[in-house]
Structure 1
Amino acid sequence: MRAHVRVEGGLNQQVEFQSLHEWLRREDELRGLVSVDRPPIRSGEMGALSDTLVVSVSSAGAITVLARSLSVWLRQRRSDVKITVDADGSVTVDAKRAPDAEALVRKVLEHRDGGPSDGG
């Protein structure tokens, strides 16, 4: 399964994106599974602000590590950052307002992985 993770907001969206990219790359269980998907730059554009991290996870353990890692990274943000995780279904989690980011992310990832879902 491939989970697509986008970062929105923050004082500097690109800095937050790079921070999350480095954070996930340091997770032993995710090493070698995190890549950056950059949309092509069109004529007249200076660059893309909508880079996406792609994380290839194929086991329940890797899903757990990704959900936990995203949750911890969000809790450490000082600015109002949001992440959107898309793995068939989608969830947007706000660093300042999500009471249990890990559970929300895990729900999306497990649904895609064939795990239980309540349809939401």
Structure 2
Amino acid sequence: MSLSPAEEPPLRISVDDRPDDLRSLADWLRREDQLRGRVSFRPAARPGDGEMGGVVDVLSVAFGAGGAGAVLAGTLSTWLASRRADLKVTVTARDGAKVELDARRVRDVAEVLRELERLAHGPDQPE
């Protein structure tokens, strides 16, 4: 079941093949005052008998004005820096634009902030 464009959250976050890490990230994000109540865990629909397909759980993040995008980016950067295992996080905007973050290569927090702000606001909106 797919959502209509109006029902899609502004951002979806997935962690490749690591549901425990995604739950950990959800906990980190929910501790932030500006994100509280804006983060929801959406388990993926499981394939039916005889169906093939990858199963990816996602976090949905909704936010408006007030700097929540910067809080999301900062929290995500801090969370990635705290991980001991290699992992890849994908942040997808409503329009399908994506940023993939490899935990082995998160060195430039400012760049992560810029990319997530761009996704949150879209290419045609001022930051």
Q: Same fold judged by TM-score > 0.5?
A: yes
Residue 60 of structure 1: how far off its partner (Å): 4.9
> What TM-score do you get using the length of structure 2 for normalisation?
0.75
Say yes or no: does 1:41 pair with 2:49: no
| CA contact 1:5–1:84 (8 Å) conserved in 2 | yes
Residues 18, 4 of structure 1: alpha-carbon distance in 2 compared, 3 angstrom cutoff? same
Say yes or no: does 1:63 pair with 2:69: yes
The aligned counterpart of 1:82 is: 88
Residues 111, 14 of structure 1: alpha-carbon distance in 2 compared, 3 angstrom cutoff? closer
Residue identity matched to 1:42 = P
- Counterpart of 1:31 (choices 25, 32, 36) is 36
Report percent identity of matched pairs. 37
Residue 37 of structure 1: how far off its partner (Å): 2.1
> What TM-score do you get using the length of structure 1 for normalisation?
0.79
Q: Which consecutive residues of structure 1, in runs of 5 or more, have no partner in the other structure?
A: none
Q: Number of residues paired by the alignment?
A: 111
The runs of 4+ residues in structure 1 deviating greater than 4 Å are none
Cα deviation per residue 1:57-83 (whole Å; 9 max; x = unaligned)? 112510000000000000000000111
Q: Which consecutive residues of structure 2, in runs of 5 or more, have no partner in the other structure?
A: 1-8
The aligned counterpart of 1:8 is: 16
RMSD: 2.2
